[in-house]
Chains A and B, each alone.
Chain A
Amino acid sequence: MVATTATDYPVRGTTLTIREITHRFYLEGQPLPVLDQISLQVGRGEFVALLGPSGCGKSTLLRLVAGLDFPSAGSVLTEGKAIEGPDPSRVVVFQDPTLYPWRTVWSNVALGLEARGLLRAHRERVEDALRLVGLTGFANAYPHQLSGGMAQRAALARALVNDPKLLILDEPLGQLDSLTRITMQGELVSLWQRAGFTALLVTHDVEEALFLAGRVIVLSQRPAHMKAEIVNTRPYPRHRGDPHLAELRHEVFAHLGLAAAW
């Protein structure tokens, strides 16, 4: 295991073990294999990216880790214990912000605390989370009044307010314009460094994976199996122009079978 977190930051994340997971869907009675023998060990406070072609089953893997679905075979463990269902210590940020349109930004962020009956005692955590993502002035806005980037920040705040040990990011920046995306990538890194959670990111953006993660797992076409593991030891904050990142990118493209396009 390569420790990629900056050591002067707190590490409160959990460990994650994915053990020989195989998963299939049934379409009109026909089994459709999605994941094939995937094993992965993620250390406390590590930032791991899963990279693969679209439709390869990355998001399915995240749903299994979140406890929203259960694998056909194999097991997922945190801190050595099998995952039995969704838990607020493992929070997902989806590609679509899916804020509740009938709630203001403030009450959207407060959702997790409210669901667990902690809101009364920890109201200040909502304000903190909003400040963390830079949405303090928008507490009373409704989701339809927000831009795409702001909505995704609100979704991030809704996850962070629960002080997760594992943050599961399902292409969270996929729908943003490229400028907002670059800004948010930087913010994500500093949030992760400050909070010390373990992060599991699904993306199909090679550059994003290399900019954010300490390890990039390259997955194959469906049914997904692990093709390669690329360790990125560059210190944070990283720079997009870093020649070492360009080399790694070349390597990743080769694993994805896109070496010619490079």
Chain B
Amino acid sequence: MSSSAVNEVSSGRTPARGFLGRSAARSLVAGLVAATAWLGVAVLTAFWSDTPESDWAYTGDLAAACGALAFAILLAGFAGVRFPGLHNVQRLSPWLIALALFFAAWEAVTAKLGLLPLPFFPPPQAILEVVIDDWARLTAGILASFRLLATGYFLGAVIGFVTGVAIGWSRLAGYWIHPVLRFVGPLPATAWLPLAFFVFPSSFSASIFLIALATGFPVTVLTWSGVAGVNSAYYDIARTLGASQRFLVLKVAIPAAMPHVFVGLFMGLGNSFAVLVVAEMLGVKAGLGWYLQWAQGWAAYANMYAALLIMAFLCSGLITLLFRLRDRLLSWQRGLVRW
């Protein structure tokens, strides 16, 4: 019993004394494997010729990009030996390897073997081609979408927040607003679309209205429930210390409700993406949603995939941004969900 305990202690110690630290070595190995996998993708793309009937212009560029990625992973792996901050490479490497395998398979069944029907399933180099050749139109689309989303979301979030606080705080506001909210709120914002497009002077303003509506409902409901659910002892404390009504709202009710407000902002952001795309497909003649529709009309499936990919990055990026903001503002909370 006691001797085995001693063994455990000593064996637990030895590996750390190797030439490289244990985690540094692991990071290096993981980096090497992932880099090799991406080098494999590069070699496969470059030296296995495309199907004879195809004329993909960017096969070489794709191979070069994969090679560059392999080199970057390798560098990060070596850097991880010196800088413990870069040990992330080790954590990421299973994903990097899996992605390499996916790319290799995709490349093989499309460009190299031609097993999947065109134009529905373009190879990766076709998407690269779209991003490089059509970047001006894509950038314009991103900017147009972002402008619409930012305006609508901001308006919806602010109005929803103020309304939520009002319902949660004032009985009168609750009496008048609550029934309207209950009746109109659950209606999907997209149902307003036909009406909005002829009531509003432009499709842009109509879309802002729809996005604001889609954002505003969850923000209102969650802000309201947050304010209504504040521990009444918090108010008692502040009141005995001489707090005014204004102080109770601004310094007690609102900070206490913030965790709920952020859930509302998160749900509202998800809703706003959905409405943005629908509005752009049906009315607004700009933006990534419109680009998707346009690409589909021309059977330009590579363009569609490219736009989808960009959209995924942007939406995910915005959600990440919102969570970062929340982590910052609500650092006092324990056990936050990580995005």
Binding site for B on A (CB under 8 A): 66-68, 85-88, 90-92, 94, 96, 98, 100-103, 111-112, 114-116, 142-144, 158, 162
Contacts and interface: CB of A to CB of B under 8 A. Distances in A.
Interface residues of B, number: 22
Given A92-B237, A98-B231, A115-B241, 9 more contacts: A85-B239, A86-B239, A86-B242, A87-B240, A88-B241, A92-B240, A100-B256, A143-B332, A158-B241
Nearest to A115: B243
B332 A87 contact: no
A90 B332 contact: no
Contact of A92 (B236, B247, B256): B236
B147 interface: no
Interface of A is mostly: loop
Given A100-B256, A102-B255, A102-B258, A87 B242 contact: yes
Contacts of A115: 238, 241-244, 247, 251
Interface in B202-258: 231, 233-234, 236-244, 247, 251-252, 255-256, 258
B230 to A, nearest CB: 10
Given A100-B252, A100-B255, A102-B258, A111 B332 contact: no
B234 A90 contact: no
B97 to A, nearest CB: 40
A174 to B, nearest CB: 14
B7 interface: no
Given A96-B233, A98-B233, A142-B332, A88 B255 contact: no
Contact of B242 (A68, A94, A96, A112): A112
B335 to A, nearest CB: 10
B333 interface: yes
Contacts of A116: 241-242
Contacts, number: 67
B338 interface: no
A90 B247 CA distance: 19
B240 A91 contact: yes
Given A86-B242, A100-B256, A102-B258, A114 B237 contact: no
Contact of B237 (A67, A90, A94): A94
Sorted nearest first, the 5 A-B pairs with minimum C-beta distance are: A112-B241, A88-B242, A115-B243, A86-B239, A86-B240
Contacts of A114: 247, 251
A158 B255 CA distance: 19
B334 interface: yes
Contacts of B231: 98
A220 B243 CA distance: 35
A65 to B, nearest CB: 10
B172 to A, nearest CB: 22
B237 A111 contact: yes
A202 to B, nearest CB: 15
Contacts of A92: 236-237, 240
B332 A88 contact: no
B234 A100 contact: yes
Contact of A91 (B241, B244, B330): B241
**Interface core residue of A85, A88, A143 (most chain B CB under 10 Å):** A88
